[in-house]
Amino acid sequence: MHPIRFALNAPLPTEAVVRVFNNSGITRPTHDAARIAQMFANANLVVSAWDGDHLVGVARALSDFCYCCYLSDLAVDTAYQRQGIGDALITQVRHAMGDGVSLILLSAPGAMGYYPKVGFTAADNAFVIKRQA
């Protein structure tokens, strides 16, 4: 294992992103590689974590860079979890955003206990219209 390296908006092979999602424990439409590619092509902030040339984690965000940032995906390969990589990905996103930007996310049910540990406060004023496909 190499020291974990983080990259901002680096090109990501779709197959590597699909592998990280599949190995992370979160659900994404990985059966549809074109959709995964489009998700990342349309994000305006992506932080990736690398062990050598092996992608091990991603944070995908959408932001106006002045008021709010939606952290849409945070995924770390289970073989690399519990090493601080998720926390470091969040820190990298926050650093890129600056102190004047709120970081917002919708948690996967299995990660509800994680986010308070890394500085998030639960919100009770959120609303969602779920996707139909």
Residue pLDDT, tens place only, 57-72? 999 999 999 999 999 9
Is residue 125 one of the residues assigned to a domain?
Answer: no
- Bridge partner list, 5: 50
39 lies in some domain: yes
Return the SS3 of 72.
strand
Does residue 99 fall inside a structural domain? yes
Instruction: Using the predicted structure, report yes or no on whether residue 22 has a pLDDT greater than 80.
Output: yes
* Averaged pLDDT for residues 105-112: 82
User: At 9, which CATH number?
Assistant: 3.40.630.30
In-domain check, residue 130: no
pLDDT at residue 2 is higher than 80: no
pLDDT at site 51? 95
Q: What is the mean pLDDT of the chain?
A: 91
Q: How many helices (H) and strands (E) does the chain have?
A: 4, 5
Q: Are 49 and 8 in contact (CB under 8 A)?
A: no
Q: Tell me how many domains the chain contains.
A: 1
Question: Is 47 among the domain residues?
Answer: yes
- Confidence check: pLDDT of 1 > 70: no
Region 16-43: what's the mean pLDDT?
Answer: 92
Pairing of strands 45-51, 54-63: antiparallel
Residue 132 lies inside a defined structural domain of this protein: no
pLDDT at 43 over 90: yes
pLDDT at 125: 84
Domain residue limits at 58: 4-117
What is the pTM assigned to this prediction?
Answer: 0.89
